[in-house]
């Protein structure tokens, strides 16, 4: 069977050329990678976090390497949803990839407004970033409270006909509780994990390396945690999962499929090798052929206990 036929799949009604996505914030708007990547071969391009108004992001150092990954505190720098719709979306549509827009809000209502604005041709789905504080509720982080996360899903679903994906944070006590709450609220899929919270200190200045003091940890260091959380979530819900966290090659991706993910999203690896998604797609196809599998569905959740 030819490679493209092996890899074609569908998730939450989105027809995909492959089960390999790019993670928000690590791939720009996709067009920046066209010298290295055939965007049409990707299952989806998840564009960088988008907010209602333009944001300049955090001051100071925003990224730093760690022994097995990186820390970032970009602060959701982006040109705002209207600029994205009017200027960026018309440009990136021509590449033929599914475009998923990652959105962040500071109130439940903002998520609803963003979802409605983005319910337009050319957008294949919406990913809800709930790692932000709810300014109307004492600064509670949406993604650490089941009721708050569910309210965000409800608001988005009410205002869009597109698939709604909830991006779960690993910084919670019970991932299954969070996953069931957003599934019951109507989420069409779950993506996880978002970054773990970490920090670094400069021992010569005695100051934090990052301008925001703390930041999100990503890369190979988080993979075992991400894999465990994907497996636990797959046991708790019936909606599809997009797994991510430290995926650096095809073998890593296959582990996530076996744990229960229906697709994988590549993040930090894009900084190491801008063509890595193509290599991972090829590697998955080679694995399926080697093991005489007809499609990716024959791998999903098939870990043996």
The catalytic residue positions are 132
Instruction: Print the SS3 string covering 92-146.
Output: HHHHCCCEEEEECCCCHHHHHHHHHHCCCCCCCEEEEECCCECHHHCCCEHHHCH
Distance (Å, whole) CA 256 – CA 76: 27
Assigned token pair, 79 = 């040109």
| Radius of gyration for the chain, computed over Cα atoms and rounded to the nearest angstrom | 18
Distance (Å, whole) CA 299 – CA 293: 8
Q: Where are the beta strands (DSSP E) in 147-240?
A: 164-167, 189-192, 196-199, 201-202, 207-208, 214-218
Cβ(216)–Cβ(197) below 8 Å: yes
Nearest to 12 by CA among 300, 239, 301: 239
Q: Where are the beta strands (DSSP E) in the chain?
A: 9-11, 14-16, 20-22, 44-50, 63-66, 69-72, 99-103, 125-129, 164-167, 189-192, 196-199, 201-202, 207-208, 214-218, 241-243, 263-266
CA 126, distance to chain mean position in Å, is: 10
Cβ(97)–Cβ(42) below 8 Å: yes
Assigned token pair, 305 = 């206990």
């Amino acid at each position: 069977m030819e490679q493209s036929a092996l890899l074609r799949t569908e998730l939450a009604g989105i027809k995909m050329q492959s089960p390999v996505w790019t993670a928000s914030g690590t791939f720009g708007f996709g067009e920046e990678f066209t010298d290295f990547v055939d965007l049409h071969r990707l299952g989806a391009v998840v564009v960088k976090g988008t907010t209602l108004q333009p944001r300049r992001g955090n001051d100071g150092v925003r990224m730093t390497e760690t022994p097995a990954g990186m820390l970032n505190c970009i602060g959701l720098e982006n040109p705002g949803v209207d600029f994205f719709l009017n200027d960026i979306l018309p440009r990136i549509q021509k590449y033929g990839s599914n475009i998923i827009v990652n959105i962040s809000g500071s109130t439940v209502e903002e998520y609803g407004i963003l979802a409605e604005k983005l319910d337009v041709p050319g957008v294949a789905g919406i990913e809800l970033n709930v790692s932000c504080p709810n300014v109307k509720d004492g600064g509670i982080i949406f993604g650490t409270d089941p009721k708050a996360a569910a309210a965000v899903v409800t608001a988005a679903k009410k205002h869009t006909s597109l698939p709604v994906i909830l991006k779960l944070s690993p910084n919670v006590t019970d991932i299954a509780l969070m996953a069931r709450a957003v599934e019951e609220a109507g989420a069409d899929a779950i993506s996880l994990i978002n970054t773990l919270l970490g920090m670094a200190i400069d021992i010569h200045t005695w100051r934090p390396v990052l301008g925001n003091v703390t930041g999100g940890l990503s890369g190979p260091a988080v993979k075992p945690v991400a894999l465990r959380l994907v497996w636990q979530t797959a046991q708790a819900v019936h909606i599809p999962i997009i797994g991510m966290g430290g995926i650096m090659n095809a073998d890593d991706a296959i582990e996530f499929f076996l744990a229960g993910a229906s697709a994988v999203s590549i993040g930090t690896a894009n900084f190491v090798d801008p063509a890595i998604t193509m290599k991972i797609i090829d590697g998955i196809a080679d694995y399926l052929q080697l093991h005489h599998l007809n499609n990716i569905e024959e791998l999903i959740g098939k870990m043996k206990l």
